[in-house]
Amino acid sequence: MFDFVSFFPRAVMQGIPLLFGSTGEILTEKSGNLNLGIPGIMYVGGISGVIGAFFYEQSVGSGELNGLLAVLIPFLCSLIGSLLMGLLYCFLTVTLRSNQNVTGLAMTTFGVGVGNFFGGSLIKLTASEVPSIALGRTSIFFKTALFGETNGWFGQMFLSYGFLAYLAIIIALGASFFLNRTRPGLHLRAVGESASTADAAGINVTRYKYLSTCIGSMIAGLGGLYYVMDYANGVWSNNAFGDRGWLAIALVIFTIWRPSASIWASILFGGLYILNIYLPTGGQMALMELYKMLPYIITLLVLIVVSLRKKREDQPPASLGLSYFREER
Amino acid sequence: MTALETVKNAIKMENITKRFGSVVANRGINMELREGEILSLLGENGSGKTTLMNMLSGIYFPDEGQIYIHDQPVTIASPKDAFDLGIGMIHQHFKLVDLFTATENIILGLEGKLDRANARKKVQEICDKYGFDIDPDMKIYDMSVSQKQTVEIVKVLYRGADILILDEPTAVLTPQETEKLFAVMRNMKADGKSLIIITHKLHEVLAVSDRVAVLRKGEYIGDVATKDANQQSLTDMMVGRSVSLNIDRPLPVNVEPRVVIDGLTVFDELGVKRLDDVSFSINSGEILGIAGVAGSGQRELLESIAGLYPISSGSVLFTPPEGGEQQQLVGKDPMDIRKAGIAMSFVPEDRLGMGLVGSMGMTGNMMLRSWRKGKGIFLDRKDPEALAQRIWQELEVVTPSTSFPVRRMSGGNVQKVLVGREIAQAPSVLMTAYAVRGLDINTSYTIYNLLTEQKMQGVAVVYVGEDLDVLLELCDRILVLCGGQVSGVVDARTTDKMEVGALMTRMGGGQNNA
């Protein structure tokens, strides 16, 4: 029998990294920056947190970890790591006006390389037998259910998560409010729709592009942190993050650039991602892999439906992927 | 003189110079706008009018010189600085976000809490004050061109601008809309605002402005009070030599039907009838003008003939000039029609949208028409290059080289490239739409002469135009469209503006064939 009450929390935990990633990417894309470096940035966000946690655990030795520090240090490290990636992307595409697609893809390759390099180095330092770093002591603080109550189906489905999961939802709701209800949000959307219009209206295009892309990167980076510290119980092994970064970008398209819709859609994606474990596959690997395709297939379906409907509001930001130079004629 | 001295300057520009690379767009310009006047800024394409105005609106920054606003020296480093100084510019290409409502566009870039209801109220107040008619909650993509322009004007007024710059505001308006705009401009002037209008149309200059300033090749030629000026004197100032305003119109030669259209009916993708039982013939050796209010089916007509628009019924019969059998063009693909010798140079509002590739140079764009020619898989660059060189010289295209991206040329030059290329195909039928839209007088006459030359060589020329004066002087016959129907075909030599104008607004009139 399909047990929804135990399936749902697992779908949520799969979905949260995607929610962070897609919220970050939506904010970025609303400024007209198509940041395909998101998978790399999420990866860097994860390894940066791991590095912080690793050295904090090392410095404490066998002593007791301070709960606040154990959370704060990886959290800040993760933010700084992904911020640096965001800054690099902005410098290349906004200041130097290089091609966004090429830069983004390079950033992903670069980010994964950075992650694997430091991951490998830390594994060497621990001289461990298995090719992974276990930060279980830190992970406990990330995993502690925020509301402490996990009894009953309600508790299990809605109250059993660590603080980062709730943060992801708050950020998504906040981003939605920001984009639709505030003046800077209006300005940001104007930059993504038509940078020259925004510029002529006195909006500082460069500043908006930098800020939204960097903040978006930091939010996406938290997805990497959540993945390793909460979902993976603090165990980092190279390349375990998988294709979650690309799923986050697919989610952006699936939700037609709406962070509030990302909340349920990320859980749907998370559920589809692990559906293969719950459905009878008879141990056939091929069938399992086919199930894993589901999120991408429904993204394609959404794209088809959206292009058939031709509704202007459902289109990507009009100047997505274009760099802006005021004196260009 | 004492009366003049009390007039204050809203803007004074002193020794303004702006370079783009090695091209000097503005050289040592000294110019002023007086408070409470409407100043026309006149000049040919590429004479630097827009560049000069963009330095006032903060888009460009001058390389040399000083700007004074209300007699205070200022530095305008960004559009925001311009707003703060009370300067508002209505750009030729509207600066509006299509996805936003009118109100959202109007308040874009302002500070403070986002209060849509309050902003909406203020927008409504401005509309009531100056007599604008727009819905503050309408999305821009649902608006007509003139509504968009109104939003632009409200936008600058909302910011409290007292100096308004309008860059070719009438280029896309109907005569009625233009009249309305001029009324609004006079309203604003009465309200104490100072205005600069850039336009190519001399009768508009004479109708609306108090004073005219003329630029030529990036230099300031001088100014003249409008009451002391006429079309001829302004033209002379603008081009620096006397230009004949009469189009040479020889009688048609060897007139025979080249394309006979019978009962043509088309529907657009929404199922709206765009052409309704249209019948006429295009004859060799003459220029057939097509007149009509914008959107009466001109575009659909040309595209149907060129095989680019689905035809639901009717026939298009083509008689090859070398004799031989008549060909039915309905159902043929555009490539075959083109091969038969029917060329179309359609100049849409967005000149680069159809026909040219913005990032390619002149040569590359010439190759778009000859890509089938080369040997094997290799491209033939030599002939296109020669053609590009010829157009560059004969049409006086202003560009550093034939490989310079056409996107970065000025609008008029882009148009010369497009029209030049189509004529070079030596077609037997040449269809042009809005071939002189946005072009200055001198270039327009170059194009008129080219078309007449084609006619004298026996080409059947179709000219879709907006300016009735030109249609009457250039064409041999004029077909008038109204709401997708032919409301009349008249002899251009004997008809007058009143008759054509009446036909343009009359549905389903009789076919008084000339």
Distance between CA atoms of residues B116 and A166, nearest Å: 31
Q: Mean pLDDT of all residues in chain B?
A: 83
All domains of chain B in start order, with CATH: 9-239 (3.40.50.300), 243-343+426-514 (3.40.50.300), 359-425 (no CATH)
Assess contact for B398 and B409: CB atoms under 8 A.
Answer: yes
Q: Can you give the CATH number for the domain in which A61 is found?
A: 1.10.3470
Place of tokens 């130079």: A325
For A265-274, B11-20, B128-137, B501-510, which range has the lowest pLDDT when averaged over its residues?
A: B501-510
SS3 B274: strand
pLDDT in tens, B122-153: 999 998 888 888 899 999 988 887 889 899 99
Report the amino acid identity of residue A103. Answer: T
At B209 the pLDDT is 93
pLDDT of B1 higher than 60: no
Is there a domain that residue A3 lies in? no
pLDDT of A202 higher than 80: yes
Section B52-73 average pLDDT? 92
Section A28-51 average pLDDT? 96
At B241 the pLDDT is 61
Helices (H), A149-227: 152-158, 163-181, 183-193, 195-200, 205-226
pTM, whole model, 2 decimals? 0.74
A-chain residues near B78 (CB < 8 A): 202, 204
**A41 exposure class (CB count in 10 Å sphere: 0-12, 13-18, 19+):** buried
Residue B48 region by backbone torsions, left for phi larger than 0, else alpha for psi between -120 and 50, else beta: left
User: Contact A183/B114, CB-based, under 8 Å?
Assistant: yes
Is there a domain that residue A209 lies in? yes
pLDDT of A262 higher than 90: yes
pLDDT of B511 higher than 50: no
Our CA-based measurement puts residue B97 at a distance from the nearest CA of chain A, in whole angstroms, of 6
Is there a domain that residue A91 lies in? yes
At B201 the pLDDT is 74
User: Contact A189/B141, CB-based, under 8 Å?
Assistant: no
Task: Provide the CB-side half-sphere exposure for B230 (13 A, CA).
Answer: 2
pLDDT of B65 higher than 50: yes
Is there a domain that residue A2 lies in? no
Number of CB pairs, chain A paired with chain B, less than 8 A apart: 75
Assess contact for B321 and B283: CB atoms under 8 A.
Answer: no
Provide the total of helices (H) and of strands (E) in chain A, helices listed first. Answer: 14, 2
Section B315-325 average pLDDT? 83
At B471 the pLDDT is 86
SS3 B419: helix
Residue A313 forms contact with B (CB below 8 Å): yes
At B271 the pLDDT is 74
pLDDT in tens, A304-313: 887 787 788 8
pLDDT of A217 higher than 80: yes
Is there a domain that residue A317 lies in? yes
User: Contact B104/A201, CB-based, under 8 Å?
Assistant: no
Write b or e for each residue in B45-83: b if 16 or more Cβ atoms lie within 10 A of its Cβ, otherwise e.
Answer: bbbbbbbbbbbbbbbbebeebebebbeeebebebbbebb
Is there a domain that residue A253 lies in? yes
What residues 179-208 of chain A have any CB closer than 8 A to a CB of chain B? 181-183, 185-187, 189-190, 193-194, 196-204
Higher confidence at residue B412 or residue B65?
Answer: B65
Our CA-based measurement puts residue B345 at a distance from the nearest CA of chain A, in whole angstroms, of 24
At B118 the pLDDT is 93
pLDDT of B350 higher than 70: no
At B391 the pLDDT is 84
pLDDT in tens, B95-109: 899 999 999 999 998
Section B199-225 average pLDDT? 88
For A199-208, B83-92, B127-136, B433-442, which range has the lowest pLDDT when averaged over its residues?
A: B433-442
A-chain residues near B104 (CB < 8 A): 186
User: Contact A198/B78, CB-based, under 8 Å?
Assistant: no
Section B358-381 average pLDDT? 73
Residue B45's pLDDT band (boundaries 50, 70, 90)? low
Q: Please provide residue B438's backbone torsions phi and psi, each rounded to the nearest 5 degrees.
A: 75, 5
Higher confidence at residue B38 or residue B247?
Answer: B38
At B43 the pLDDT is 80
pLDDT of B479 higher than 80: yes
DSSP string, B41-105: EE--TTSSHHHHHHHHTTSS--SEEEEEETTEEE---SHHHHHHTTEEEE-SS----TTSBHHHH
Section A246-258 average pLDDT? 92
A-chain residues near B139 (CB < 8 A): 312
User: Contact A201/B109, CB-based, under 8 Å?
Assistant: yes
Section A308-321 average pLDDT? 84
Section A266-293 average pLDDT? 83
Residue B351's pLDDT band (boundaries 50, 70, 90)? low
At A27 the pLDDT is 96
For A169-178, A188-197, B181-190, B421-430, which range has the lowest pLDDT when averaged over its residues?
A: B421-430
A-chain residues near B95 (CB < 8 A): 194, 196-197, 200-201
> In chain B, whose CA is at the least distance from the CA of A311?
B99
At B170 the pLDDT is 81
What is the number of other CB atoms lying within 10 angstroms of the CB of residue B158?
18
Our CA-based measurement puts residue A201 at a distance from the nearest CA of chain B, in whole angstroms, of 5
pLDDT in tens, B272-316: 788 999 999 999 899 999 988 767 888 889 888 888 888 999 998
CA distances from A53 to A61, A69, A111, A120, B295 (A): 12, 9, 19, 16, 67
State ipTM. 0.86
At B18 the pLDDT is 92
Distance between CA atoms of residues B491 and B501, nearest Å: 14
Section B363-383 average pLDDT? 71
Query: DSSP E strands: which ranges in B428-497?
Result: 429-433, 460-464, 477-482, 485-491
Q: Name the residue among A183, A203, A318 with its Cβ closest to that of B112.
A: A183
Q: Name the residue among A189, A312, A329 with its Cβ closest to that of B408.
A: A329
User: Contact A200/B141, CB-based, under 8 Å?
Assistant: no
Helices (H), B313-359: 334-339
At B512 the pLDDT is 41
pLDDT in tens, A62-105: 888 888 999 999 999 999 999 999 999 999 999 999 999 999 99
Total domains in chain A come to 1
Q: Mean pLDDT of all residues in chain A?
A: 91
Q: Name the residue among B89, B104, B114 with its Cβ closest to that of A182.
A: B114
Q: Which domain holds residue A43?
A: 11-328
Q: What percentage of chain A reaches a pLDDT higher than 90?
A: 65
SS3 B39: strand
